[in-house]
Amino acid sequence: MNRPLPMAAPRAILFDLDGTLADTAPDLAAAVNFLRTERGLAPTPYAVLRPTASAGARGMIGAAFGLQPADDGFEELRVQWFERYQTAMAVESTLFDGVVELLDGIHAAGMAWGVVTNKPSRFTDPLMPQIGLAHAGCIVSGDTTGFAKPHPAPLLEGARRLDVAPEHCWYVGDDVRDIEAGRAAGMVTVACAWGYCGELDPVHWGADFLLESPLKLLSTLQELTASPA
């Protein structure tokens, strides 16, 4: 349930990447379906793959091949999926509607923003400029700290790089692990219902805010910024 206003405006916003700022599912799905067609299998329907995108290899390979990380053959598929994805990361990937306006509004309000993702840096670093996010204040990837979300370490590293105390940061994500990480880091958490969201309805994640669009997040921030301290 959303916290009641007024609440102090944040000094920085940290975002997940896949399913939060960027709709990367088309290219992630294309890579895993390439592996299926190589094996003479029909492509897995995009509607099945899309909700798993924020779970990375575990989600995509699980949906496309029915394998989990402990299963024989999973690791081979993971490596091959990574290799294929790296050749075509930004063919159809794009920012969600309203994200450009959101980031412009955050900048205009004098707030910092950055990205904290579980995506490995081998993908994050080249992808960010290709989809228009090269101006992020920080980029913390899944292999930056040695921990992945829901561990709070990546979020705390993002706050450190922005030089903002964690309690003055918000974390925005489309997976329950994002909200768990944000809470563990002492940040206000925002569940974005416009993302992939996985199997568990975001209403049950325990986020401080559940918002349906990037522009709704912008209006919430503007309301807080306009409120007296």
Residue 163 a catalytic site member: no
Catalytic site residue from 18, 23, 27, 178: 18
Handedness of CA 73, 117, 48, 82 (dihedral sign): negative
What radius of gyration, in Å, describes the C-alpha atoms of the chain?
A: 17
Residues facing 171 on adjacent strands: 14, 189
- 222: exposed, middle or buried (Cβ count in 10 Å: 0-12, 13-18, 19+): middle
Catalytic site residue from 16, 23, 175, 208: 16
Name the token pair of 10: 């944040």
φ, ψ dihedrals at 147, nearest 5°: -130, 155
Residue 16 a catalytic site member: yes
φ, ψ dihedrals at 188, nearest 5°: -70, 135
Do 19 and 54 meet the contact criterion of CB atoms below 8 Å apart?
Answer: yes
Residues recognised as catalytic: 16, 18
